[in-house]
């Protein structure tokens, strides 16, 4: 809980009342590498704040060659990020997304209902939400920019903006995130093998 309060305090001050309320509603969870926080087909009823670790979100799509399905990675998040399947969480509909720990992770979570009460009782939390939303908007703008670039430039831009994530993300996950084939990412990472 202390780490979550530290993350929130870095955004904007957290009053004593808000701190106490967060301690009441936030539930700690630890996830092992490969463990799922949420699965597709379920309504995702919790929002998570990452205290430690790396989490990915992916969907499954039918392969173009008709052979089973493939995972398409949508995002990777780390310490200080808020995660959920937004559409499922907000609209209470089954999600198409899987949310999975890529390394041992610690998160704090709460429900939609508790989050609503939090906003009602502590309007100051809107400032934190605004900061989180701005960070999310920036992240997705970076993705949109990246996907417009040629393959090598996509990889270089990701490396420049998120170097800390490269050691934790398997190459096959990075490839689908960037809209590339695994072999393309391999050639970019190791040009001597060409």
CB count, 10 Å around CB of 148? 8
Q: Where are the domains of the chain?
A: 2-188
Residue in the structure block whose two tokens are 């990675």: 73
Low-confidence residues of the chain: pLDDT under 70: 63-64, 66, 192-194
CATH code for the structural domain at 2-188: 2.60.120.10
Helices 182-189 and 151-161 cross at an angle (nearest 10°) of 70
- Beta bridge partners, 107, equal 29, 50
pLDDT at 190: 80
- The tokens describing 79, both together, are 């310490």
End-to-end CA distance of the chain: 48
Q: How far is CA 90 from CA 24, 115, 134, 187, in A?
A: 22, 11, 18, 41
pLDDT at 193: 54
Is the overall model pTM greater than 0.75, yes or no? yes
8-state DSSP, 163: G
């Amino acid at each position: 809980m202390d780490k979550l309060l530290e993350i929130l305090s870095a955004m904007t001050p957290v009053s004593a009342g808000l701190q106490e309320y967060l301690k009441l509603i936030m539930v700690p969870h630890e996830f092992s590498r490969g463990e799922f926080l949420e699965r597709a087909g379920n309504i995702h009823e919790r929002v998570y704040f990452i205290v430690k670790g790396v989490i990915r979100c992916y969907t499954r799509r039918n392969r173009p060659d008709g052979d089973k399905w493939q995972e398409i990675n949508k995002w990777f998040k780390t310490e200080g990020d808020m995660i959920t399947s937004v559409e499922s969480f907000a609209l209470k509909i089954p999600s198409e997304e899987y949310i999975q720990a890529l390394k041992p992770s610690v998160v704090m979570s709460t429900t939609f209902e508790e989050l609503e009460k939090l906003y009602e009782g502590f309007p100051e939390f809107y400032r934190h939400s605004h900061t989180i939303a701005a960070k999310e908007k920036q992240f997705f703008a970076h993705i949109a920019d990246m996907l417009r670039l040629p393959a090598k430039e996509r990889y270089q831009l990701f490396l420049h903006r998120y170097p800390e994530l490269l050691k934790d993300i398997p190459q096959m996950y990075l490839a689908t995130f960037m809209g590339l084939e695994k072999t393309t990412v391999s050639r970019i990472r190791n040009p001597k093998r060409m």
